[in-house]
């Protein structure tokens, strides 16, 4: 029974309408019953032949546990697998593994009692959430370079989900079933910061038909769902109903019967999520008891007070995924619809890409790991794992039981079991190769030989800053998967001196920004720069260091480096204040000339970061200072041995990385806590240029 349960758990299936299968043509049949927990569990399996009218080549499972019944559709190999397990009643053949993989030093390798539910890739740490038969969560962390088990823990409260975060420098958070969200560090399991759902919302969660909750400590907002709708609590504790279930039937259109009888299940909201720093609210509109109870996704702009509905869920297969804070995936029968909340645009992500693929795994809905199953010449099961788009399998497992438990953007967690051994292993599957960038600029004589100097990108697109032999500067964006130009290449005028490409945190609707010596160009992939421009006030532009020229803008605050240190001012140039004077660091470097350089506004503009630069025969950096512009608290990281030029990274809005040679030390804001990694991939690191 353990083998049967495992086979059914790891095999893809869909729930189908209850109907009689007996009497149809080309049927194989077997029945298995077991008594456990005071209930009889009965499985009836029908193997439909290739000529079957409804389910050619499929396994139909009729399942009854106590008084509850359901009918499910599996692949044909499930019928054969269960027949072998029932007939032999022995442990499977020894498993043979081929390919590059890393055995994990798990405390309970290959256990069938603990099933991996979620994975998070946090720098060099892989965090796995298991669940036992009672729903109790166990977490285990592994070093992705060695496979060593770093630590494990089991929280007292149940865990609904775990998610990546950059809030206050934390790496991830646990949303628990007791109304508490725990923010945690990947490198230190003892450190955490907890936030509790407001009491009024928790009362609603404790009542009938709770539908989940979310909270955003940065904005002070919290949301929960019950049978009446979605309730929102603001920073002052005021509670209001943001979405009402009363008008939901009308909003669902043809997904809800127009003349439904009184006893027909009423639609309701579940899965409330806050996005974009509490600006947006999403919730699933569901119909309890329906074959696919996910009917639509509601997107509410809390500032504008508008609500829109996306009806892209499938009829037979549905669900949601949240790859990042501003992306929601609506699952369907044939394609998954990926919604970009920042633009409202959608794209389709295929569910099954070609015949013969049993399963597809993805963490970002852009890159896929395909799992193919077949029968080897000796009759053993054969499983092949292939990165989609490649012909050669990365990994092959023959014999025994082998399955993929889940994937991150770079790794696949796999488990196997046979008569001699059981184990858990890690496979590095996403090995993105170097791309040749096919530039529309390359054919123009004046731009020939332009060398890439900086880049910023996402999983789909990348913007490149390049310099030609004659000193001209160009910006162009490319498709990150094909290397093809979007045709938006533009040459900057001679007066514009670019400093860096960077992400945009403070304005919606833009993909990247170009910082220059006197302005900020906001850009979108596929459109020529600038889509929007901010220019420094003349008085401040002339005060910039001539050999630095760097400044930063966040919201309505600017920070800039001048002769005597780093200053801040309002965007219009008023309210100037010297925040980080150079004299602070000149006293601790044996009077070698030193100054602050490269200011950066982080954490939504709350924190000012200035690099400590020592000037000599060669400029190098000995650390950085962080100033909390709200409290005035000042902290620093100081290393008298220094860092090489260009040794600073800003992987996200709450992390500073200092590079020395091939290593990077990451520090999270606001407490400058060392972290195992940047918390999220540094976009420019995904693209390397010769």
Rg (the chain; Cα; Å): 28
Q: Which helix (H) or strand (E) holds 535?
A: strand 532-535
For the chain, give every domain's residue range.
2-88, 197-351, 433-535, 546-690
pLDDT tens profile 418-470: 766 778 899 988 765 445 565 544 444 344 456 777 888 876 788 988 887 67
Tokens representing 678 are 């940047």
Residue 120 has φ and ψ, to the nearest 5°, of -135, 135
CA proximity to 328, closest of 303, 352, 300, 306: 300
Confidence of residue 335 (pLDDT cuts 50, 70, 90): confident
Is the CA virtual torsion 340, 571, 624, 513 positive or negative? positive
Tokens representing 169 are 């420098």
Query: Taking the model in full, what pTM does it have?
Result: 0.57
What pLDDT is stored for residue 352 in this prediction? 54
Domain over 546-690 is classified CATH 2.130.10.10? yes
Distance (Å, whole) CA 414 – CA 310:
35
pLDDT more than 90, % of the chain: 28
Residue written as tokens 């077949």?
374
What pLDDT is stored for residue 351 in this prediction? 60
Distance (Å, whole) CA 81 – CA 324:
37
What pLDDT is stored for residue 174 in this prediction? 97
Pick the CATH number of 197-351 from 2.60.40, 1.10.12, 3.30.43, 2.40.128: 2.40.128
User: DSSP state, 541?
Assistant: H
In contact, 128 and 111? CB cutoff 8 Å: no
Identify the three-state secondary structure at position 156. coil
pLDDT tens profile 587-635: 555 556 778 888 999 988 999 999 887 765 455 667 889 999 999 999 8
Distance (Å, whole) CA 54 – CA 56:
6
């Amino acid at each position: 029974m353990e083998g049967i349960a495992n086979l059914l758990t790891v095999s893809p299936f869909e729930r189908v309408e209850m109907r009689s299968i007996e009497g149809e043509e080309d049927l194989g049949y077997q029945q298995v019953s077991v008594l456990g927990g005071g209930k009889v569990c009965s499985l009836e399996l029908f193997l439909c032949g290739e000529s079957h009218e409804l389910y050619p080549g499929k396994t139909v499972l009729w399942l009854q546990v106590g008084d509850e019944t359901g009918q499910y559709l599996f692949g044909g190999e499930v019928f054969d697998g269960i027949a072998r397990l029932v007939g032999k009643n022995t442990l499977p053949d020894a498993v043979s593994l081929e390919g590059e993989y890393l055995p994990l030093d798990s405390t309970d390798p290959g256990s069938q009692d603990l099933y991996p539910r979620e994975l998070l890739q946090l720098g060099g740490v892989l965090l796995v959430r298991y669940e036992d038969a009672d729903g109790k969560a166990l977490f285990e962390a592994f070093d992705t370079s060695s496979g060593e088990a770093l630590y494990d823990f089991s929280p007292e409260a149940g865990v609904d989900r775990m998610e990546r975060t950059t809030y206050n420098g934390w790496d991830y958070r646990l949303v628990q079933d007791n109304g508490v969200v725990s923010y945690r560090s990947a490198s230190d399991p003892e450190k955490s910061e907890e936030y509790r759902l407001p009491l009024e919302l928790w009362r609603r969660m404790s009542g009938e038909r709770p539908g989940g909750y979310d909270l955003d400590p940065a904005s002070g907002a919290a949301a929960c769902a019950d049978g009446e709708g979605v309730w929102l609590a603001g920073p002052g504790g005021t509670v209001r109903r943001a979405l009402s279930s009363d008008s939901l039937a009308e909003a669902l259109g043809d997904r809800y019967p127009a003349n439904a009888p009184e006893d027909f299940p009423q639609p309701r909201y579940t899965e409330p999520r806050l996005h974009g720093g509490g600006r947006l609210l999403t919730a699933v509109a569901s119909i309890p008891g329906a074959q696919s109870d996910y009917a639509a996704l509601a997107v509410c702009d809390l500032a504008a007070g508008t609500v829109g509905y996306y009806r892209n869920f499938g009829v037979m297969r549905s669900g949601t995924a949240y790859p990042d804070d501003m992306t929601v995936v609506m699952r369907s029968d044939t394609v998954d619809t990926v919604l970009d909340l920042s633009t409202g645009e959608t794209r389709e992500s295929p569910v099954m890409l070609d015949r013969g693929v049993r399963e597809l795994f993805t963490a970002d809905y852009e890159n896929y790991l395909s799992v193919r199953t077949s029968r080897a010449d000796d009759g053993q099961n054969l499983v092949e794992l292939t990165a989609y788009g490649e012909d050669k399998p990365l990994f092959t497992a023959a014999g025994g039981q082998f399955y993929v438990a889940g994937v991150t953007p770079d790794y696949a967690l796999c488990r196997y079991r046979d008569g001699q051994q059981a184990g858990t292993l890690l496979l590095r599957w996403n090995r993105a190769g170097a791309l040749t960038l096919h530039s529309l600029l390359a054919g123009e004589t004046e731009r020939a030989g332009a060398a890439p100097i900086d880049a910023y990108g996402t999983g789909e697109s990348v913007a490149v800053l390049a310099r030609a032999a004659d000193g001209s500067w160009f910006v162009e964006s490319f498709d990150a998967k094909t290397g093809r130009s979007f045709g938006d290449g533009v040459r900057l005028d001679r007066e514009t001196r670019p400093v860096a490409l960077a992400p945009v945190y403070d304005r919606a609707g833009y993909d990247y920004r170009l910082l220059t010596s006197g302005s900020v160009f906001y850009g979108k992939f596929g459109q020529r720069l600038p889509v929007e421009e901010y220019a420094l006030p003349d008085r401040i532009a002339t005060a910039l260091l001539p050999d630095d020229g760097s400044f930063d803008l966040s919201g309505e605050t600017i920070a800039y480096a001048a002769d005597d240190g780093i200053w801040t001012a309002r965007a219009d140039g008023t309210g100037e204040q010297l925040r980080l004077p150079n004299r602070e660091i000149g006293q601790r470097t044996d009077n070698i000339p030193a100054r602050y350089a490269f200011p950066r506004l982080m954490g939504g503009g709350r924190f000012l970061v200035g690099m400590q630069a020592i000037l000599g025969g060669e400029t190098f950096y000995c650390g950085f200072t962080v100033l909390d512009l709200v409290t005035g608290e000042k902290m620093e990281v100081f290393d008298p041995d220094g860092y090489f030029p260009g040794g600073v990274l800003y992987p996200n809005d709450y992390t500073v990385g200092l590079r020395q040679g091939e290593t990077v030390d990451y520090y999270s804001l606001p407490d400058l806590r060392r972290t195992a990694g940047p918390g999220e991939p540094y976009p420019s690191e995904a693209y390397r240029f010769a």
